[in-house]
Amino acid sequence: MTTNAGPYDQDYFSSGPYAQVSFRKYRQYWWSNRFYAKIVLRYGAPTGRALEVGCGLGHLLARLSSRYETYGVDVNSWALERAKAIAPSAHLALASAEDLSAIGGGMMDVVVAKHVVEHLSNPRRALAEFSRVLKERGLLLLATPNMDSPMRTRKGDAWVGYRDPTHVSLLTPGEWLRLLESQALRVTKVVSDGFWDAPYVRWLPTAVQKILWGLPGGIQALAGYPFLPLRWGESMIILAMKATNAEQ
């Protein structure tokens, strides 16, 4: 494979939003992947096929591989090359979230799209694709910036959802829920991920703020159980089930 041109090339990982991310064990990225894997293992089918859309470097796929036959797609060929080593058993393909035509309808027991849809000019088309490839009663796990976060108004242009210029579809929770329902995806749970983007106030050291503001999210991540209310986080996490033909 050759490295893609455009906003999601190698630079996106080396000098873009991923530049400050540590991949070391017990750092924030590690806990995040552990948390999302725990959600899938808790609410998804006991076995079957799991697809991650926007799989990046493959760390979440690697966590799911003990229970599922794993599939991953991404628009970044450089990332997919590295995912081969991190998730060697996964079936990987260069593809957009808005065009999963290489995957047959009703193939997947689980679809994960973690911070993908906000990057898409046509998220409705992507949701239609997620619905198409899911089996009836299959699980969709979707995460995207939370426009109802109180920190959005506090931080303004410095809010994490606004800092990435590739975030072109920042919708309200209500808008996302209506889009999901329109694609036969029945929402079963909506939570948040906590306040992890300190500082939020000027007069308190950032290290202290990370502990104070981040404690609820840290407890949630440690427990591996999603319970934080929607307004208690920077991102919204949605669990949805593909409706049966009789329910549509």
In total, how many domains does the chain have?
1
> Does the residue 205 lie in any domain?
yes
Q: How far apart are CA 105 and CA 116, in angstroms?
A: 21
What are the strands of the beta sheet with 108-114, ordered from one edge? 91-94, 68-74, 48-53, 108-114, 134-145, 235-242, 185-192
Dihedral sign from CA coordinates of 73, 76, 81, 83: negative
- The counts of H helices and E strands in the chain are 9, 7
pLDDT tens digits along 196-233: 999 999 999 999 999 999 999 999 999 999 999 999 99
Question: What is the per-residue pLDDT for 246?
Answer: 73
CA atoms within 13 A on the CB side of 217: 26
Best CA proximity match to 144, nearest among 240, 68, 214, 223: 240
CATH of the domain at 120: 3.40.50.150
Structure token digits, residue 156: 């303004």
> Does the residue 4 lie in any domain?
no
Least confident stretch, 23-27, 33-37, 122-126, 226-230: 23-27
Residue 5 — very low, low, confident or very high, per pLDDT cuts 50/70/90? very low
> Does the residue 100 lie in any domain?
yes
Structure token digits, residue 182: 């329109």
pLDDT higher than 80, residue 6: no
Are 83 and 56 in contact by the 8 Å Cβ rule? The answer is yes
Question: What is the per-residue pLDDT for 206?
Answer: 94
Task: Kindly state the percentage of the chain with pLDDT values over 90.
Answer: 83
User: What's the chain's average pLDDT?
Assistant: 91
pLDDT higher than 50, residue 245: yes
pLDDT tens digits along 62-73: 999 999 999 999
> Does the residue 248 lie in any domain?
no
73-99 mean pLDDT: 94
Residues 6 or more apart whose CB falls under 8 angstroms from that of 151 comprise: 159, 195, 197, 200, 234
Residue 1 — very low, low, confident or very high, per pLDDT cuts 50/70/90? very low
Question: What is the per-residue pLDDT for 4?
Answer: 44
> Does the residue 75 lie in any domain?
yes
> Does the residue 103 lie in any domain?
yes
> Does the residue 3 lie in any domain?
no
CB-based burial of residue 14 (10 Å sphere; 0-12 exposed, 13-18 middle, 19+ buried)?
exposed
> Does the residue 5 lie in any domain?
no
Question: What is the per-residue pLDDT for 22?
Answer: 62
pLDDT higher than 80, residue 10: no
Structure token digits, residue 217: 């999210």
Question: What is the per-residue pLDDT for 26?
Answer: 65
What is the domain range of residue 198? 10-242
